[in-house]
């Protein structure tokens, strides 16, 4: 992350702290990550933590990063945006020492409380009154800056590279995990820092899962959900490949999903509720006679948000997701669906909400892909 981007985030954070009458902010991470949960510390520092870490920010602009691992202290000192990195043998006391040094007391905001353990929280209460402050980071992250948009588009290019590797290597005899390895290598070589990837290959899939030792066979339906990460930004693509010559039923059901996907894109515009995307997909699929399959366990969600600092409009886009879409949100629309005739099919991709609609980020065509040999 460029120093200028960090300076802007720090300035905005201090402004919001003063606005909310908070004496400072602690941004905590336990080192875990998920594509369906914001990573506040990663967003603020540009570095993904691997253990307990906390950035402490005062309203006078002082910032320190407290970590529990020596390796992480050395790496963050050299690569991170925060140069004041402190290794703490006793992590909770390490945070408390910084609060004392920075003279932070009274009300203090905490971003990442859902990851924080009780012992750390209790120590903080010795010095100040903690207040939930996830909204401070999410407010800043809600609209991506030009650098972040550039990273998102680069990540989409990497996702396309990964799917091409999947398509090029889909053949009888290859194992699921070997296919995943080909895609993983291609995306890493293209610049991915991390990868989320699910593959399932059966004649009648029940759901997506982690790649297994199962070998692909003619007649298999290969469903893929993959997402590379760059600087915490994530772009996901969902595709289905048939190994052999598909029958008319499979083609018909997949065309139904493509139709539902394309109609959902028409509901993407700043100010419109996220549920509009889900409702139009469910309406199309239900009218085709599959209403009972438009709910779990036959499908999980019709989409979700992405982004290291904020996953708005949320980890689930469903018929009751009333959050209004905003400019520069990154989200996926995926009418992934189980049909009794074909099994589970994967369809969908990530888009960017623009000022008056959406921008499709993925270049590969949304269609049923066929590998006859």
Q: What is the CATH number of the domain that holds 254?
A: 3.90.230.10
Give the pLDDT of residue 108.
95
Q: What total of structural domains would you count in the chain?
A: 2
Give the pLDDT of residue 45.
87
Give the pLDDT of residue 75.
62
* Same domain (yes/no): 116, 169: no
* Same domain (yes/no): 208, 100: no
Give the pLDDT of residue 310.
85
Question: How confident is the model over 308-326, as pLDDT tens digits?
Answer: 888 889 899 999 999 999 9
Summarize the confidence of residues 12-30 as an average pLDDT: 94
* Same domain (yes/no): 199, 114: no
Within the chain, what is the greatest distance between any pair of CA atoms? 70
- The last residue of one of the domains, among 116, 141, 166, is 141
pLDDT averaged over the chain?
93
- The last residue of one of the domains, among 92, 121, 141, is 141
* Same domain (yes/no): 64, 37: yes
* Same domain (yes/no): 113, 155: no
Dihedral angle over CA of 177, 294, 330, 196, nearest 10: -10
Give the pLDDT of residue 36.
82
Q: Where does the pLDDT of residue 170 fall: very low under 50, low under 70, confident under 90, or very high at 90 and above?
A: very high
Comparison of pLDDT for 110 and 78, the residue scoring more: 110
Phi-psi region of 261 (alpha: psi -120 to 50; beta: other; left: phi over 0): alpha
* Same domain (yes/no): 170, 311: yes
* Same domain (yes/no): 39, 162: no
Summarize the confidence of residues 77-85 as an average pLDDT: 76
Question: How confident is the model over 119-137, as pLDDT tens digits?
Answer: 999 999 998 899 999 999 9
Dihedrals phi, psi of 44, to nearest 5 degrees: -70, -35
Question: How confident is the model over 224-277, as pLDDT tens digits?
Answer: 999 999 988 899 999 999 999 999 999 999 999 999 999 999 999 999 999 999
* Same domain (yes/no): 87, 150: no
Residues 6+ apart with CB under 8 A from 121: 110, 113, 130
Residue 299 structural domain? 146-371
* Same domain (yes/no): 134, 150: no
Q: According to DSSP H, which parts of 27-117 are helical?
A: 40-45, 70-79, 91-101
Instruction: Give CA–CA dist 92/21, Å, rounded.
Output: 24
Instruction: Give CA–CA dist 266/26, Å, rounded.
Output: 40
Give the pLDDT of residue 127.
86
* Helix, strand or coil, per DSSP, at residue 169: helix
Give the pLDDT of residue 47.
82
Give the pLDDT of residue 316.
93
Residue where the block lists tokens 């909400």: 353
Question: How confident is the model over 32-74, as pLDDT tens digits?
Answer: 888 888 899 998 888 888 889 999 999 999 999 999 887 766 6
Give the pLDDT of residue 306.
87
Give the pLDDT of residue 141.
87
Q: Is the pLDDT of residue 281 over 60?
A: yes
- The last residue of one of the domains, among 98, 117, 141, is 141
Tokens of 10: 């720090």
> CATH code at 105?
3.40.350.10
Instruction: Give CA–CA dist 106/130, Å, rounded.
Output: 8
Give the pLDDT of residue 49.
84
Q: Where does the pLDDT of residue 2 fall: very low under 50, low under 70, confident under 90, or very high at 90 and above?
A: low
* Same domain (yes/no): 135, 150: no
Degrees, nearest 5: CA angle 9-13-14: 120
Question: How confident is the model over 332-366, as pLDDT tens digits?
Answer: 999 999 999 999 999 999 999 999 999 999 999 99
Q: Where does the pLDDT of residue 307 fall: very low under 50, low under 70, confident under 90, or very high at 90 and above?
A: confident
Determine contact, residues 358/351, Cβ cutoff 8 Å: yes
Dihedrals phi, psi of 106, to nearest 5 degrees: 65, -130
* Same domain (yes/no): 12, 57: yes
* Same domain (yes/no): 151, 122: no
Dihedrals phi, psi of 196, to nearest 5 degrees: -115, 130
């Amino acid at each position: 992350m460029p120093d200028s981007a960090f300076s802007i985030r720090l300035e905005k954070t201090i402004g919001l702290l003063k606005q909310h009458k908070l004496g400072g902010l602690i941004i905590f991470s336990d080192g875990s990550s998920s594509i369906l949960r914001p990573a506040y510390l990663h967003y603020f520092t540009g570095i993904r933590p691997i253990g307990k870490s906390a950035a402490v920010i005062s309203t006078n602009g002082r910032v320190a990063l407290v970590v529990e691992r020596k390796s992480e202290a050395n790496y963050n000192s050299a690569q991170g945006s925060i140069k004041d990195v402190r290794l703490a043998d006793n992590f909770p006391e390490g945070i408390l020492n910084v609060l004392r040094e920075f003279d932070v007391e009274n009300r203090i905001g905490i971003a990442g409380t859902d990851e924080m353990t009780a012992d750390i929280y209790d120590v903080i209460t010795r010095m100040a009154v903690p207040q939930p402050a996830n909204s401070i980071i999410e407010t800043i992250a809600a609209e991506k800056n030009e650098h972040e948009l550039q990273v998102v588009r680069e990540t989409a290019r990497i996702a396309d590279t990964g799917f091409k590797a999947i398509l090029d290597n889909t053949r009888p005899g290859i194992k699921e995990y070997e296919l995943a390895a080909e895609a993983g290598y291609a995306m890493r070589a293209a610049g991915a820092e991390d990868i989320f990837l699910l593959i399932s290959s059966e004649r009648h899939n029940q759901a997506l899962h982690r790649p297994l030792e199962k070998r692909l066979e003619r007649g298999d339906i290969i469903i893929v959900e993959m997402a590379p990460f760059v600087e915490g930004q994530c772009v996901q693509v969902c595709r289905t490949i048939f190994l052999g010559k598909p029958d008319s039923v499979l083609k018909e059901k997949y065309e139904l999903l493509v139709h539902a996907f394309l109609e959902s894109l028409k509901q993407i515009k700043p100010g419109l509720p996220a549920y509009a995307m889900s409702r139009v997909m469910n309406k199309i699929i239900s009218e085709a006679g599959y209403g009972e399959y438009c709910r779990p366990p036959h499908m999980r969600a019709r989409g979700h948000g992405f982004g290291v600092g904020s996953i708005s409009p949320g980890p689930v886009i469903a018929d009751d997701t009333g959050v209004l879409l905003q400019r520069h949100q990154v989200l996926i629309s995926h009418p992934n669906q189980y049909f009794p005739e074909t099994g589970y099919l994967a369809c969908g991709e990530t888009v960017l909400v623009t000022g008056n609609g959406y921008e499709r980020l993925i270049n590969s065509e949304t269609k049923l892909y066929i590998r006859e040999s």
